[in-house]
Structure formats: C-alpha cells, structure tokens
Amino acid sequence: MAKTKTTFFCQNCGTQHPKWIGKCSACNEWNTIVEEVIQKEEKRNWKQTTVNKKVNKVQKINEITTTQEERIDTLNTELNRVLGSGLVKGSIVLLGGEPGIGKSTLVLQIALNVNQKVLYVSGEESQSQIKIRAERLKSTNDNCLILTETKTQNIFKIIGETNPDIVVIDSVQTLHTDYIEASPGSISQIRETSAELIKFSKETDTPVILIGHITKEGSIAGPKILEHMVDVVLQFEGDRNHTYRILRAQKNRYGSTAELGIYEMLGSGLREVSNPSEVLISEKDADLTGTAISATLEGMRPLMIEVQALVSTAVYGTPQRSATGYNIKRLNMLLAVLEKRAGFRLGAKDVFLNIAGGLKVEDPAIDLAVVCSILSSNEDEAIPQNICFAAEVGLSGEIRAVTRIDQRILEAEKLGFDKIMLSKFNKIPKNKYDIEIIKVSKIEDVVKVLF
C-alpha cells in the first residue's frame, strides 16, 4: 500500500511547509500550521479529457483592444450596486457570512429571479430542502437547476451536460476533489477545488458564486490566499436578532468597495431596502433625549442614521463606556474633548452609545451627532426632531468640514428635515437649498445653539 503523503499548511496564508513549525516563516503568524493528507497527481485539469495545449500570445500594451467587461444583470438592485452594476462574466465571487445570516437565501433568490440558466450546487442541503426554501420565497424559475454534489469532477460533468450561464456553489467548504485525499473543508481541499473552479470560470467565461463559511474571528474560513484568488469578496453581515442585513464588498476587481447593499429578512425572503434612511430613523411620538440624526454617506449613497446615547451616573468606581456600531476609541476621544473644551464633567458617568439599525459607521461626519446625542442625554434635554447633523469633531473641539456635503444636504431635505448643522468651513452656495443651514465652528457654539 502506498504510504500516505502528508504535508503542513499554514491556515493563515496557505504556505506549504515540509515539517511542523510554531511560526509560519511566510506570514509570521504563530500556531497556524496544521498537518494534512495530500496525494497529488500531476495531470490535473477541470476537463480531464482535453489537455490544454494553448499557449497565450504576448502583446504590446498599445495593441491590446479593450472590450467593456460583459455584465449580467442580477435583477437585484442592491447586489448589482455592490458588484458594480452587475455580475461580470467569467468572474469568481466569494460570499462570506455567519451561519444562518441568509447567504443561501440570498443566492437562491437571485438564482430564481435572474433571466439566465443557473446551476445551484449544494453540498449542505438536499434538493427537497432547497425546494421548500424556494416555495417560501414564492418564486420559480424554469431555468434554475439544483444539484446536490460535493465532488468537483462530478460537478464539472453536470456542467458539461447542462451548460449553465451562472454556477453557484454552496459552500466551498463542502467540496472535494479526487486528486487530494484531505477531508473536505481542509486548507488543501479548499485551495485545490477553488483553483479548479477558477480555471473553469476563466476558460468558459461563466461567473461562479462561491459561498464560504467564516471563522469565529470573522474571516472567511480557509487560506487567506482564497481571497486573493477570487475577483470579488462579499461579506453578508448583520445581527441575527435584527431583520436588517448588510452586503458589502471587501474586495472588488470590477468596482468600488465602498458600496453597500441593505436587505430586510422577512418571512418570504430578503427584501431590498431601497430607501434605507426612512427605515433607519425610528418613529417616535415625542422628542426623546439622547438621540440625534446624522447625515452620513456609505459609498456613494447618503444615509440618515440615528445615534442614541445614554449618559448616567456610574454605579461602580470605573465608569463604563460602550459603543455599538461606532469606534469605542473615537467615543473616548470625543468624551475627552467634551470634558476639556466644553467643561462637561463626564469622567464619572457611564456612557452607552448605539447606532440604530445594527449598522457600523466609519464616516467621520457622524461625530457631531454623537456629541449632540451625548450632550442631550447628559442635559436631559431633547434635540428637536427636525434637525440633523453632518460634521467631524477635532481634538481641540473644532467642528471640521466633511466631504460631499451637497449630497448630505439634499438627502436631509428629501426626508423633510428643516435644519442641518454643519461646519462653518464647508463651502455652501447661497440660496441653493430650502433647508436652514446652521454653521458652527466650535463645540461651544453647538452647545449654545442647542441648549
């Protein structure tokens, strides 16, 4: 019997090592080396029968003719936006997300709605389970084929028979290839099966959507190089207890990574949220203390987001600071600015901050709304509901200008706000907007205007 060959892989970067070592010499990570069984054969091809003898020609850059990459309209506006106006032919898209977040639902929904022949390969659910899900989604497509299979050679055989326009793999961790003996989900299997799929995709110009699991730390399970190999890495995230789900691109060779898709998980599948500002601002009858609305931007899209703060006297010696959806270090910084520049004694107070809707905001323009919500809760005085904020707060308490102010003002106007508070340093044309613009330059001005 042939001796089983094993080798050592780094779980972080996928480098192969001849023996176990504590620290990967390629990426310098500790404790990432695992032993895996491999059995490599030399002649490997996604289509075993045709040996690829074609050699690519070299060309001068000036002579290369460009063609706009062909895109398939997924008929899902939010997904199209994140991908950059559609699914590029011959591209590989990796979709990651926590278990139960809705990856399979999203992809099945697209498979059912798109005007193309889709082969949905599932290694996780049976055909009848997928059918039950499709019934929940209340849509059908004659051109949606379901296959339950995990061996790539068999998948390619079916692809050869059915000629799909789009291939979906749910999930890459269940795949295995005949040429390697390691178990499905291991680094060498993920690497090899993905490489076979990528080769297939590039040679036939068929887009492939790979669903990937993520690890406890939140990165896509498998070697990091998988993310380098694919064209687009999408992350589907959100709080499982909330209904909103956010789709964002971590990497996109064909578009911007700043775009964001928002969905709502309903009993009948994922609904696209096309005007997120309206759903992100909670409805309330009376003015509440500790809330402020910010005009932020996510990618190219303006979003009105509600910031909620609670400031209360600390029960224990060390006050607590907690922030959901906002950088805690930045919160501490803003509290220090309020203490030093505006004279508020927040050092002995607990401060809790929450961005409504389960969003994570990195746009610095939200700073002013954070400051105002904290002040509002601290003073126990509500901020009127007709005002919103868009400015960054600096270390010396100065209110700084933010980019693309025009879009923010227009969104605020569209949603019916009467006033918007901005930095004095933002250049705004006179008489262009109906909304009243309040300009401030220091934290002290903000306090004067509001309280």
Site for ligand TYD, rule CB under 6 A: 97, 99-105, 133, 136-137, 265, 267-269
245 contact choice in Mg ion, ligand TYD, none (CB below 5 to 8 Å, kind-dependent) = none
Write down the least CB distance from residue 103 to Mg ion, Å: 5
102 contact choice in ligand TYD, Mg ion, none (CB below 5 to 8 Å, kind-dependent) = ligand TYD
CA dist 368 → 54, 280, 299, 371 (Å): 60, 18, 20, 5
Write down the least CB distance from residue 198 to ligand TYD, Å: 22
Cβ proximity to Mg ion: between 76 and 104 the closer is 104
Long-range contacts: 311-315, Cβ < 8 Å, 24+? 311/346, 311/349, 311/350, 311/351, 311/352, 311/374, 311/377, 311/378, 312/349, 312/350, 313/348, 313/349, 313/350, 314/348, 314/349, 314/350, 315/350
325 contact choice in ligand TYD, Mg ion, none (CB below 5 to 8 Å, kind-dependent) = none
Sign of CA dihedral 340, 344, 347, 350: negative
Write down the least CB distance from residue 134 to ligand TYD, Å: 9
- Binding to Mg ion in span 74-113, by CB under 5 A: 104
Size of the site for Mg ion (CB under 5 A): 1
321 contact choice in ligand TYD, Mg ion, none (CB below 5 to 8 Å, kind-dependent) = none
C-alpha 150, offset from chain centre:
27
99 contact choice in ligand TYD, Mg ion, none (CB below 5 to 8 Å, kind-dependent) = ligand TYD
317 contact choice in ligand TYD, Mg ion, none (CB below 5 to 8 Å, kind-dependent) = none
Which of 283, 232, 190 is CA-nearest to residue 94?
232
Q: Give the phi and the psi of residue 73 in degrees, each rounded to 5.
A: -75, 120
Cβ proximity to ligand TYD: between 267 and 317 the closer is 267
At residue 342, the 3 state secondary structure works out as helix
Radius of gyration of the chain (CA): 26
Write down the least CB distance from residue 209 to Mg ion, Å: 13
Write down the least CB distance from residue 358 to ligand TYD, Å: 15
449 contact choice in ligand TYD, Mg ion, none (CB below 5 to 8 Å, kind-dependent) = none
Cβ proximity to Mg ion: between 74 and 104 the closer is 104
Alpha-carbon span 17 to 391, nearest angstrom = 51
For position 174 contacting Mg ion by CB under 5 A, the verdict is no
Written as one string, the DSSP assignment of 193-262 is HHHHHHHHHHHHT--EEEEEEB-TTSSBSS-THHHHHSSEEEEEE--TTSSEEEEEEEEETTS-SS-EEE
223 contact choice in Mg ion, ligand TYD, none (CB below 5 to 8 Å, kind-dependent) = none
Cβ proximity to ligand TYD: between 247 and 371 the closer is 247
Which of 191, 188, 264, 273 is CA-nearest to residue 225?
191
Write down the least CB distance from residue 238 to Mg ion, Å: 15
In the 8-state DSSP scheme, what is residue 85? S
Write down the least CB distance from residue 426 to Mg ion, Å: 45
| Omega prior to 183 cis, within 30 of 0 | no
Write down the least CB distance from residue 61 to ligand TYD, Å: 42
Write down the least CB distance from residue 165 to Mg ion, Å: 22
Burial tier of 136 (Cβ tally within 10 Å: 0-12, 13-18, 19+): middle
97 contact choice in Mg ion, ligand TYD, none (CB below 5 to 8 Å, kind-dependent) = ligand TYD
Alpha-carbon span 118 to 116, nearest angstrom = 6
Question: Which residues here bind Mg ion, judged by CB under 5 A?
Answer: 104
